[in-house]
Amino acid sequence: MLLLILAAILAVRILAVVFSTADFHYDEAQYWYWSRAFDFGYFSQPPLLMWLIGSMTAACGDGEVCIRLFSPFLATVGALLTYLLARRLYDREVAFWAAIVFATLPAISAFAMVATPETALAVFVVAGLVMLSIHFERPTILSGVGLGIVLGFGFLSDYTMVYLPICSALYLAATPKMRRMAYAPATWLAIAIAILIVAPNILWNARHEISAASQFLSVANWTFRRINADATLVFIVLQFVLFGPILFFVLLRSVIARRTIAPRAAADRFLLFHSVPILAALLIEALLFRAKAHWALPAFPAAAVFVTALLLRHGFQRLLLISTGFHLAALAGIIALSVFADRLAAVPAVNSLVGWKDFAEKLAEAAAVSDVNTVVLRGGSQVAEATYYLRGTDIEIRAFSPRGRRPTNDFENRLGWAYGDPQTILLATGHDPSAFGIPLGTADKIGEFPVQSYLSEDGIFSLYRVNPPAETTFPQ
C-alpha cells in the first residue's frame, strides 16, 4: 500500500514537472550555468547539485523538464528512507505514516519540483539519521563507513548538512550512556571518511577564498543591528506553513510543555536532539541577524517522525489524517501554481515565476537591430535568466560590475563589465545609463521592449549602444 501511495505522489509530481509553465527560478538558471563545467565547488554552493544537473543535461538536454526531473525521484527516496528510520525506532504503523508525512510535507512538495539543493539535502539528512541509528546501536566498521559516506556527500549537497553531526555531538554529550560512541574507532572512521570526501571542496574554497567568503557573508547577512522581532515572527509563521500547521503545533507543544528534550524515551530523545537544536539555532539567528524559513529543512525529517509517533502513541490518528489532508491540499495547490503559472502572471506573488523566457526573447529581438552581440545586464537574476534562455544564440551576456567594488555574485566575478572596458556593448536596463557610471550623452538608445513589473517599475527596458571611452577620458 505504501509503495502505491508513494508511486502515485511521484507520478503526480512528474506530470507537474512536465506540464509546468513556470520559468526557471534564477537560482535554477545559475545552477545550470555552473553545471556546464565540472568542478569541486561553485562560489556559494558545494558541487553535488551541479553534478546532478550536469548529468541530467548530458542525458536528455538543457530543457527545464529534464533538469528538474531528478527532484521528484529524490523526494520519493527520502520517503522510503523515512520509513526505514521510523521502522528502526518504532514500529510498522509509525513507519507507514511517517513516510507519508515526509512525502507530503509542504516544504518537500515545494522543492520536489525544482532543481535546487533542498530535496537532495533532505534525502541525505534522512539517510544520515538512519545510519546514526544503526551506528549508535552498535558501532562497526561497516556502520562507520556508511555514516562517513552519507555525511560526506550530504555536505557536498548543502553546507547545512553540518547540523547533523553537531546535533549528534549534543545528543551524545547529553546522554551519558551513549558517550562511549564518541570514542569508538568506527566513529572516528566515519569522521575521517567524511573529511576525505569533502576535502576537494574544502581545498576549492581555500583557493577561492575571496569570492566564496564574500558570497557567504552576503547571503547570511550576519550583521547585528537590532532585535528583529517582526522578521522572527514571520520566520515562525512560515514554519507552520512549511512543516504543516498541525505538526508544528504538536512539536512546539510537546517541547514547551516538557520544557526539555532530555528525559524521554530513547527514540524520542534521538529525534528531538536532531531537530529542536536546529530550530532553536535558526530562531536565534532570525532574532539577531537574518534567517530564511526554508533553512530549517534539516530539522524536518527527525521532527516529522517524532510527531507522527507521538500522535499515534496517544491515539490521535484522526488528527494525523487531518494533517495529511492539509498537506495533500498544499501539494495540489503547489502543482496548480506550477501548471497554471502562466495564467496567474498578474498575481503579485506569482508573477516572478513567469516572464523570464519572454524577457530573454524580447531582449534578443531588440538586440538583433545592432551589429553588437554583447549585452550587459545588472543583477544576478537578470544575468542568470538571460544566460539560460539565450543559450544556443550568438548573444553574449555580461554582468555589470562597478569598478572598485568587490563582486557580489559569481556572474560579476566571471562575466563582469564596467564602463571603461575596451569593448562596445549593448546595455539593457530599466534605469538611466548614468546609474551604471556612463556619462550622459555617451550611450545611444537603439530600442526598447516591455517587461514584467518586477523588472522595471514602468514595465519598459531600454537598450543602449555603449562605446568604450577614449583613453584620455577613462585611462585603461
Model confidence over 4-33: pLDDT tens digits? 999 999 999 999 999 999 999 999 999 999
Using DSSP's 3-state secondary structure scheme, residue 324 falls into helix
Count of residues making up the chain: 476
Domain identity same for 279 and 408: no
Per-residue pLDDT reduced to its tens digit, 259-295 = 666 557 899 999 999 999 999 999 999 998 888 999 9
Chain-centroid distance of CA 239 in Å reads: 16
Would you say residue 439 lies in a domain? yes
Lowest mean pLDDT among 335-344, 364-373, 388-397, 403-412: 403-412
CA 343 to chain centre: 26
Closest C-alpha among 378, 409, 382 to residue 218: 409
Domain contains 472: no
What is the structure's pLDDT at 221?
A: 53
Res. 98 pLDDT band, cuts 50 70 90: very high
Is position 350 within any domain? no
Q: Which of 289, 318, 341 is the last residue of a domain?
A: 341
Q: Which residues form the domain of 73?
A: 2-341
Whole-model pTM: value is 0.92
What mean pLDDT is reported for the chain? 91
- Residues 388-445 pLDDT 10s: 999 999 999 999 998 877 778 889 989 999 988 888 999 999 988 988 888 877 889 9
Q: Which of 341, 372, 387 is the last residue of a domain?
A: 341
The last residue of a domain, from among 307, 341, 375: 341
- Asked, for residue 346, whether it belongs to a domain, the answer is no
DSSP reduced 3-state for 112: coil
Q: Count other Cβ atoms within 10 Å, centred on residue 381.
A: 20
Write down the pLDDT at residue 259. 64
- Tell me how far apart the alpha carbons of residues 224 and 209 are, in angstroms, rounded to a whole number: 23
275 and 387 co-located in one domain: no
User: Is the pLDDT reported for residue 216 higher than 60?
Assistant: no
The terminus-to-terminus CA distance of the chain in angstroms comes to 70
For residues 468 and 5, give the distance between their C-alpha atoms in angstroms, rounded to a whole number: 62
What is the domain count for the chain? Answer: 2
Q: What are phi and psi of 66, to 5 degrees?
A: -60, -45
Cα–Cα dist 319/212, whole Å = 45
Of 55-59, 186-190, 262-266, the least confident: 262-266
Residues 431 and 295 in one domain: no
Q: Nearest-5° angle of CA 291, CA 294, CA 299?
A: 100
Residue 299 or 350, more confident = 299
C-alpha grid cell, residue 453? 513589473
Residues 381 and 410 in one domain: yes
Asked whether residue 31 falls in the same domain as residue 158, the answer is yes
421 found inside a domain: yes
> How far is residue 180 CA from its own chain's centroid?
36
Cα separation, 224 vs 212, whole angstroms: 21
In this structure, the answer to whether residues 132 and 221 fall within a common structural domain is yes
- Among 35, 30, 29, 69, which Cα is nearest to 49's? 35
Which percentage of the chain shows pLDDT scores above 90?
73
The dihedral built from the CA positions of residue 441, 444, 450 and 453, taken in this order, carries a sign that is negative
Is there a single domain that holds both residue 248 and residue 172?
yes
| Contact (Cβ atoms closer than 8 angstroms) between residue 159 and residue 293 | no
Q: What is the pLDDT of residue 409?
A: 85
Q: Do 366 and 327 sit in the same domain of this protein?
A: no
Query: In this structure, is residue 473 part of a structural domain?
Result: no
By CB neighbour count within 10 A (0-12 exposed, 13-18 middle, 19+ buried), where does 239 fall? buried
CA dist 293 and 279 (Å) reads 10
> What is the per-residue pLDDT for 223?
54
Average confidence (pLDDT) over 104-110: 97
Instruction: Kindly state the cell numbers that stand for 356.
Output: 523570464
> Do 375 and 334 sit in the same domain of this protein?
no
Residue 185: inside a domain, yes or no?
yes
Same domain, 416 and 287: no
Same domain, 329 and 441: no
Q: Are residues 391 and 332 in the same domain?
A: no
Mean pLDDT of 183-195: 96
Over residues 64-86, the mean pLDDT reads: 97
